[in-house]
Structure 1
């Protein structure tokens, strides 16, 4: 079992290893985008262990964010 966290692609750097900056709320991290060649700035991706593994739509990402908010509690 793995835990993937959705984040929003901020920018993409093409090169031998496709990298990008992905925002997780206020935190922005460098992420490997090699497994999601279609990902573009503004897209949401699921990130596991520093690599984006899937492009998802905004609605799905927002549902996950809401679940996290509920789990966090008041």
Structure 2
């Protein structure tokens, strides 16, 4: 099962790509489906594509709920 998990953009890369960080796990993802993403934004990612930007407060609440439920949001539960 894949989960769409909020991740923070830490670097914008060439070719509409970005480097994201989730609990110390960093991965390059595509920004093809989302406009105007900046460093520090949170995005929902699924199968390597950012699907939408997410409000930072909403991202924090979502990540806290996932951690409370015992999900490893450090990368193991997310799809690359």
Equivalent-residue separation in structure 2 for 1:33 and 1:26 (angstroms): 20
Cα distance change of structure 1 residues 14 and 37 upon mapping to structure 2, 3 Å threshold: farther
For the pair shown, the structure with the greater C-alpha radius of gyration is: 1
What is the Cα-based RMSD across aligned positions, in Å? 1.5
Tell me whether 1:29 sits opposite 2:27 in the alignment: yes
- State the TM-score, normalizing by the size of structure 1: 0.86
Structure of greater relative contact order (alpha carbons < 8 Å, 6+ residues apart)? 2
- State the TM-score, normalizing by the size of structure 2: 0.80
Q: Which residue of 2 aligns with 1:56?
A: 54
Deviant stretches of 4+, over 2 Å: none
Secondary structure (helix, strand or coil) at the match of 1:39 reads coil
> 5 Å matches for 1:1-74?
3-15=3-15, 18-72=16-70
The runs of 5 or more residues in structure 2 that have no matched partner are 72-80
Instruction: Name the count of aligned residue pairs.
Output: 70
Secondary structure (helix, strand or coil) at the match of 1:59 reads helix
Secondary structure (helix, strand or coil) at the match of 2:69 reads helix
